[in-house]
Amino acid sequence: MSDLDTAEMEPPPSRLIYRQKELQQLLGLSRNAIERLMEAEGLPHPIKLSSRSKGWLAAEVHAWLDQRAAERIERERPERPCAL
């Protein structure tokens, strides 16, 4: 199978779903840390895939990460004194 065939079979990023272990690897965090982030820091909650499985929409996770990065940049900007 060529790379082109593989690329055609992959779902678009907006439809990608991270399972628990994949999300843990992506964020470099434990299951408990992810639970805390969902409750305290606004990490999106998973969607129910079946009666026994759940997954996080990749687009939502990456949007949350982008928001966190933007907040960090905003906090780190030095305040400029007003010019007179």
Show pLDDT as tens, one digit a residue, over the chain (84 residues): 555 555 565 656 667 999 999 999 999 999 999 999 999 999 999 999 999 999 999 999 999 999 999 988 877 776 666 655
pTM to 2 decimal places: 0.71
pLDDT at position 74, please? 79
Cβ 16 vs Cβ 56: under 8 Å: no
Contacts of 46 (CB under 8 A, 6+ apart): 54, 55, 56
Domain boundaries, the chain: 10-65
pLDDT at position 10, please? 63
Q: How far is Cα of residue 77 from the mean position of the Cα atoms in its chain?
A: 24
